[in-house]
Amino acid sequence: MMSCGHSLPVKCNGQDLILILQLKSDGSVKAEIAGQETELFKYGIPNCIIYTYTSLPALFRSMNVIRPCLGYSIDKQSTLSSINSLILKETISTNGQITHVLRSQKCLRSVSLTSISDSCIKCIKCASSLKRRHESECDKGNEEKENLDKTCSDQDVTLDSNDIKMKFKSLAPNLTENQIILIESQIKQSNLQNRKGMRWDKDVISISLSIYNRNPGVYRNMVQNGLLQLPSESLLSVYKNSVRQGPGVIHDMMQWMQTEASRQKVSREGYFGGIILDEMSIQEDLQIVNYKEGTMLYGLADSDLDVKRMKTLNSDKVYDSLANHVQQYVFNGLTGFRWPFANFPNCRADPSEIFVTTWKCIHALGEYGFSPIYCCMDGSANNRAFIKMHFTGDPVSSKMVAPFYQNPTKQMIFIMDPCHLLKKNTKQCS
pLDDT at 324: 82
Over residues 210-257, the pLDDT tens digits come to: 777 777 788 888 888 877 888 888 777 776 665 556 677 888 888 888
Over residues 300-346, the pLDDT tens digits come to: 777 777 787 877 887 787 777 787 888 889 999 998 898 888 888 88
DSSP string for residues in 257-295: HHHHHHHTT--GGGGEEEEEEEEEE-----EEEEETTEE
DSSP, res 424: H
Count the neighbouring beta carbons within 10 Å of the beta carbon of residue 321: 10
Is 368 within 8 Å of 257 (Cβ atoms)? yes
Q: Which has the closest alpha carbon to 323: 340, 290, 348, 341? A: 348
Which amino acid would we find at residue 56? L
Is 379 within 8 Å of 424 (Cβ atoms)? yes
How far is it, in rounded angstroms, from Cα 421 to Cα 402?
21
pLDDT at 153: 42
- Helix ranges (H only) for 139-240 are 140-153, 161-171, 177-190, 202-214, 216-224, 233-240
- Stretches where the chain sits below pLDDT 50 are 81-83, 151-159, 430
What pTM was computed for the model?
A: 0.45
Cα first-last separation, the chain = 82
Strands 110-111 and 97-104, bridge-based pairing: unpaired
How far is it, in rounded angstroms, from Cα 79 to Cα 138?
12
Is 354 within 8 Å of 382 (Cβ atoms)? yes
6 forms beta bridges with 19
